[in-house]
Structure 1
Amino acid sequence: MRRRIVLSSVAAIVLLGHGAAVAHDRATIMMPLGQNWAMPAGNYANWRFTALSQITPQNVKHLAPAWTFSTGVLRGHEGGPLVIGDRMYLVTPFPNIVYALDLNHDGKILWKYEPKQDPSIVPIMCCDTISRGVSYGDGKIFLYQADTTVVALDAITGKRIWAVKDGDPTRGATGTSAPFVIKDKVLVGVAGGEFGVRGHMTAYDIKTGKRIWRAYSEGPDKDILVDPKKTMSLGTPIGAESSLKSWQGDAWKIGGGATWGWVSYDPKLNLVYYGSGNPAAMNPVQRPGDNKWSSAIWARNADTGMAKWVYQMTPHDQWDYDGINEMILTDQSIDGKMRHLLTHFDRNGFAYTLDRATGALLIAAKYDPSVNWATKIDMDKASKTYGRPQVVMKYSTDHNGEDANTTGVCPASLGTKDEQPAAYSPITRLFYVPTNHLCMDYEPFRVRYTAGEPYDGASISMYPPKGEKNMGNFIAWDGSKGKIVWSDAERFSVWSGALATASGVVFYGTLGGYLKAVDAETGTELWKFKTPSGIIGNVNAYEHDGKEYIAVVSGIGGWPGIGLAAGLANPTDGLGAVGTYAALSNYTALGGVLTVFALSH
């Protein structure tokens, strides 16, 4: 009886979150709970959780492919499909083909949209030609093309309704993230920090494509949309021109802080949350100061873009620790007090829990024990370094304004976790986190800025921590305590998104191509299936004709698979990823295949 009550409560929670997510589209609200996967993360809170419960720890061993679909494109397939009623929508890597598939006929193609893009965009796309998905709202499918064009397509016909250019590819700007739909707006960030592109988040009108607001990551207050007296950081107003004061001269104009990660939203607070990336260049000596507000978490008013609060996790980032990873929103008790929380697993190896209404920092703890670049985050509110990482000088790459080579710093620049999104279960109240388990040698060098040319300034080699062989772990994390509950080791980094289910099964994919199911409470492996290629995409669930399905797109690539995807052989290419993951070629090959699973009996 208790199990049934819990599931009913979860259904109510998910219905509220899901209904809010598509409040502008009545047809979607009326569909049965759990049938759809109508937005990239399942709900506004970025839970990546399904209330469906047909697939259980007891019967998951009977999961088998129901049908498959080839995308016709190689390179890395990040992201995952959407399901709206009887239709599934998915997008490929460049050239960003969008497919509408008929679920009544095992994925029959209903329409196909293939944009015309200049192939010169391919060489400037960092870490492969990926796309992290399409979004849905107002009867439209929204695509963010590699060349930064935002496109609205009619969900029924595939006809283009409007299109707008978000950035300038000739200066290194690219589009890789999934658009984010809220109310009457479509939000998109921008990639290209490694080319010195100044990051920004932009909101467009859902019906016309007209720009509503744009907020930059660094620069004058009017550009970054802050009120120096009202925008807070750790409980204190940020003050006038907080960003400009933290950069030398005009370095902020080419300062990075890209916004290519995930977005979440709290309808009651009307706040959107996202992270900004690392500062440019990757050589920290060339940009003295804290470099605000790169590597930071932003909370902004969804209607105006004005920032309510901001928190910088890695001031003067010296290791390429972007802050773009997803923000997961929950309501939980911390120290006996119910809080509206935001949990973020940062590239820098620390998991942060903040009050999402105020930006108060509540917990900051390492979610991989190998993290060594900093001893801790200072949690003493009376300290002058409150909220800042306590950097170990041995691992610093900036010694009083001089370049410093460092070895054995953990995590590597791809972080303890990159964009591969975690999942959260409101039943177990645990986060399920795909992680990297790598350290690096970091050698900064001087680099000169030229528009449209790489502006990185570091050579990197990566490897597992000393005495260990696994490059990744899949962990369960207790956010209220800041502790790992269980950890499953993987030979390679876990670069797929996770999916948590109401029945206590958690899914994730491996770079070797396995889709795995584990027990939510213990991490015990329950089932696995080898798909045609390595998995760097996200696992989704939906219901059709009363049956639960699990869907995942496999297609090796992305940062860890860039060697295979782009045919690179030099071990130092891909910021060291080619050499690090060279053995992947023994386990998987290129592909682009959607596999849909269901219980066989």
Structure 2
Amino acid sequence: MPTKTVRSRKWPVALALALALPAAATMANDQLIKMAQDPNQWVMPTGDYTGQRYSALDQINTGNVKDLHVAWTMSSGALRGHEGQPLVIGDMMYFQSPFPNHVYALSLDDPARIVWKFTPEQDKFTPSVACCDVINRGVAYADGTIFSNALDGTLYALDAKTGEVKWKVQNADPKLGQTQTMAPIIIKDKIITGVSGAEYGVHGYITANDTRTGKQLWRAYSTGPDDLLIFDPDKTIDGATQKPVGKDSSLKSWQGDQWKLGGGTTWGWYTYDPELDLLYYGTGNPGTWNPTQRPGDNKYSMSVIARDPDTGMAKWVFQMTPHDGWDYDGVNESILTDIEIDGETIPALTHFDRNGFAYVWERSNGRLLAAHSYDDTLNWASGIDMQTGRPKLNPEKMTEEGKNVKNICPSSQGTKDQQPAAYDPASGLFIVPTNRLCMDYQAFHVKYKAGFPYVGALVTMYPANKGEVGGRLIAFDPIGGETKWAIDDRFQDWSGVLTTKGGLAFYGTLTGWFRAVDLKTGKVLWQFKAPSGIIGNPIAYMHKGKQYVAILTGVGGWAAIGLAANLTKATEGLGAVGATETLGDYTTLGGTLMVFALD
């Protein structure tokens, strides 16, 4: 058997200069790649284009992290779930709150001084169509501009120095159930965003706008014909497991015009390979949650797609969960690393899917290299067929209209939802925040009406084995399929993870503990009880010679929708309330930016 190892890849500053692209088009790439090489800053929501969420800073390390303390804090002015992270650009910090989507620019020279604040005017109807809390996953930066998605689908370009609106454009319509919660990604002269709302029968898509003017350059849909922007079926992809597909290839996987309500929304994390010039992102669940109403594989929901950012044309697509019957959205991040196989270095993409399987693909062509379960309770499938890429289904756990299927693992929140994993280049392991939930799932017939829920299932979630462990932080090898260490938590681990050269992983819990963990052993070396539960993502930066770690606290999101929206019935919140019915005994609402440092 060939030996496989995982290595990180940090592209050199000069890489963008070698790309055969016009100088004007590569401006944002050149700037961001160069800035991302500086560990003193945090210039993209994911840290850099790889999505590794790794910091090369090591002033805070395993030997001194016990002395970490609060350096300064700031209220966000919002109460609902804080799922994003700050950016650090030079001597400034920027972050965005959940609805009403306050955007702040803070001085690091005078900590917590608000240089400017921007709050968009939004239709008050908008929060009513946000399926799983009114969260926001953060702003993006390029060329002196902060880019912000408002919940109502408006994308704003704000002057980074003044907060003045340079332009705005509408990329979603709440009256159709469409909202925007994802963090944008900047590629060349384009800002690329997605859409939320599959639970409202939204036809999922991503949009590329010109960073200078806001003009729409292209839009690519997840399901359907021409606007799918899928590559030519007559072309081949060397070494790919899946065959190329054409523009009409998804239609035969739907019944009639069901694809128009097909979901496949695109609200997760995006990554980009400047060398291959490919954008990577995932698509969500098909509409409705009742699989009986939509026979077929329902392409290309539940998929990872690689697209040319210049044209929107897809190069390859891989569907993880055909004919989804469990709401196993495929929107989770795809992390870029390199893998060595028998001495050959292969550029890879690692994706911890909601369905409980960790996939590794060759990122140039979508060839499946590995697929292992990272959830020891998973029972809806027994594995992944490495020839076809399809799951080996357990028929007893397949849902259908009029039947209450019990004890399906994982639940609809998946073994991992949007909470992003991080990579440790020293060990080649991924540090993954997970959910440890199962569910009962009863599908029923539902009719579509624009702007109204289009779910068609009654779900109840609960901890696996109905025990006291609802979440688990793990160190996982996606090639060998092994969990090296694990930390059990009372509720879902909905916070993202940060890894550092100092040998540490930082993450937060729903109960509000912010922790530093030894990457080698999984031992908790330090923890601090925040004012509210944590579903945000840690970052690290350096200012005036001192390293800081920052985190947005503020419980909410789908994991804690009961607490966030004052819901009490177990089946409310799309079944999530039952999994966290006692969370209110440990924490409460309130958004705070917390920044930590050594003495």
Query: Scaled by the length of structure 2, what TM-score is found?
Result: 0.94
1:169 to 171, 174, 180: 174
In the alignment, structure 1 residue 234 sits paired with structure 2 residue 233: no
The structural deviation recorded for 1:428 is 1.6
Match of 2:150, as an amino acid? Q
The structural deviation recorded for 1:266 is 0.2
The structural deviation recorded for 1:46 is 0.2
What residue number does 2:452 align with?
453
What residue number does 2:575 align with?
576
In the alignment, structure 1 residue 308 sits paired with structure 2 residue 315: yes
In the alignment, structure 1 residue 257 sits paired with structure 2 residue 264: yes
Separation of aligned partners in 2, 1:124 and 1:363: 38
The structural deviation recorded for 1:127 is 0.8
Deviation by residue 1:69-128 (Cα, 9 ceiling, x = unmatched):
001110100111000001000001111010000001111000000100011001110110
What residue number does 1:394 align with?
396
For residues 99-498 of structure 1, the aligned pairs below 5 Å read: 99-230=104-235, 234-239=241-246, 241-334=248-341, 336-379=343-386, 381=387, 386-398=388-400, 403-466=402-465, 468-498=467-497
1:356/1:117 Cα in 2 relative to 1: closer, same or farther (>3 Å)?
A: same
Separation of aligned partners in 2, 1:235 and 1:225: 14
Deviation by residue 1:386-428 (Cα, 9 ceiling, x = unmatched):
2100110100113xxx543210110000000000000012222
What residue number does 2:43 align with?
38
The structural deviation recorded for 1:227 is 2.1
SS of the residue 1:252 aligns to? helix
Match of 1:377, as an amino acid? I
1:171/1:457 Cα in 2 relative to 1: closer, same or farther (>3 Å)?
A: same
For residues 91-106 of structure 1, the aligned pairs below 5 Å read: 91-106=96-111
Deviation by residue 1:179-207 (Cα, 9 ceiling, x = unmatched):
11111110000000000001001111110
Separation of aligned partners in 2, 1:281 and 1:569: 24
2:80 to 72, 75, 78: 75
Do 1:536 and 1:555's aligned partners in 2 also have CA atoms closer than 8 Å? yes
1:405/1:140 Cα in 2 relative to 1: closer, same or farther (>3 Å)?
A: same
1:336/1:491 Cα in 2 relative to 1: closer, same or farther (>3 Å)?
A: farther
Greater shift after overlay, 267-276 or 326-335?
Answer: 326-335
Separation of aligned partners in 2, 1:377 and 1:26: 40
SS of the residue 1:132 aligns to? coil
Do 1:353 and 1:364's aligned partners in 2 also have CA atoms closer than 8 Å? yes
The structural deviation recorded for 1:540 is 0.5
SS of the residue 2:207 aligns to? strand
RMSD: 2.0
Match of 1:446, as an amino acid? H
What residue number does 2:553 align with?
554
Match of 1:242, as an amino acid? S
Separation of aligned partners in 2, 1:151 and 1:65: 32
The structural deviation recorded for 1:518 is 0.6
Deviation by residue 1:412-465 (Cα, 9 ceiling, x = unmatched):
000000000000122221100000001000000110000110000011111122
Match of 1:108, as an amino acid? R
Do 2:351 and 2:360's aligned partners in 1 also have CA atoms closer than 8 Å? yes
The structural deviation recorded for 1:23 is 4.6
1:504/1:449 Cα in 2 relative to 1: closer, same or farther (>3 Å)?
A: same
The structural deviation recorded for 1:470 is 0.1
1:253/1:219 Cα in 2 relative to 1: closer, same or farther (>3 Å)?
A: same
Do 1:199 and 1:259's aligned partners in 2 also have CA atoms closer than 8 Å? yes
The structural deviation recorded for 1:485 is 1.3
What residue number does 1:527 align with?
526
1:26/1:285 Cα in 2 relative to 1: closer, same or farther (>3 Å)?
A: closer
Deviation by residue 1:495-526 (Cα, 9 ceiling, x = unmatched):
00000001110000000001111111110110
Match of 2:158, as an amino acid? L
The structural deviation recorded for 1:30 is 6.5
Aligned length: 584
The structural deviation recorded for 1:563 is 1.2
SS of the residue 1:237 aligns to? coil
The structural deviation recorded for 1:236 is 1.4
Do 1:227 and 1:306's aligned partners in 2 also have CA atoms closer than 8 Å? no
Match of 2:109, as an amino acid? N
1:299/1:179 Cα in 2 relative to 1: closer, same or farther (>3 Å)?
A: same
- Provide structure 1 residue ranges, at least 5 long, that are not aligned to the other structure: 1-8
- Provide structure 2 residue ranges, at least 5 long, that are not aligned to the other structure: 1-6, 20-25
SS of the residue 2:582 aligns to? helix
What residue number does 2:22 align with?
none
1:266/1:240 Cα in 2 relative to 1: closer, same or farther (>3 Å)?
A: closer
The structural deviation recorded for 1:315 is 0.2
Do 1:534 and 1:555's aligned partners in 2 also have CA atoms closer than 8 Å? yes
1:223/1:203 Cα in 2 relative to 1: closer, same or farther (>3 Å)?
A: same
Match of 2:394, as an amino acid? V
What residue number does 1:63 align with?
68
Match of 2:405, as an amino acid? T
SS of the residue 2:117 aligns to? strand
In the alignment, structure 1 residue 509 sits paired with structure 2 residue 532: no
The structural deviation recorded for 1:17 is 8.8
Do 2:16 and 2:30's aligned partners in 1 also have CA atoms closer than 8 Å? no
SS of the residue 2:125 aligns to? helix
Match of 1:325, as an amino acid? N
1:374/1:452 Cα in 2 relative to 1: closer, same or farther (>3 Å)?
A: same
What residue number does 1:49 align with?
54
Deviation by residue 1:451-502 (Cα, 9 ceiling, x = unmatched):
1100000111111222632001000011232221111111111000000001
Separation of aligned partners in 2, 1:32 and 1:238: 37
Match of 1:159, as an amino acid? E
1:169/1:420 Cα in 2 relative to 1: closer, same or farther (>3 Å)?
A: same
Separation of aligned partners in 1, 2:473 and 2:27: 31
Greater shift after overlay, 466-475 or 292-301?
Answer: 466-475
What residue number does 2:23 align with?
none
Separation of aligned partners in 1, 2:37 and 2:269: 26
1:56/1:457 Cα in 2 relative to 1: closer, same or farther (>3 Å)?
A: same
Greater shift after overlay, 293-302 or 327-336?
Answer: 327-336
Separation of aligned partners in 2, 1:118 and 1:79: 22
Greater shift after overlay, 536-545 or 14-23?
Answer: 14-23
Greater shift after overlay, 206-215 or 17-26?
Answer: 17-26
Do 1:131 and 1:177's aligned partners in 2 also have CA atoms closer than 8 Å? yes
The structural deviation recorded for 1:16 is 7.2
SS of the residue 1:105 aligns to? coil
Separation of aligned partners in 1, 2:36 and 2:282: 32
Query: Scaled by the length of structure 1, what TM-score is found?
Result: 0.94
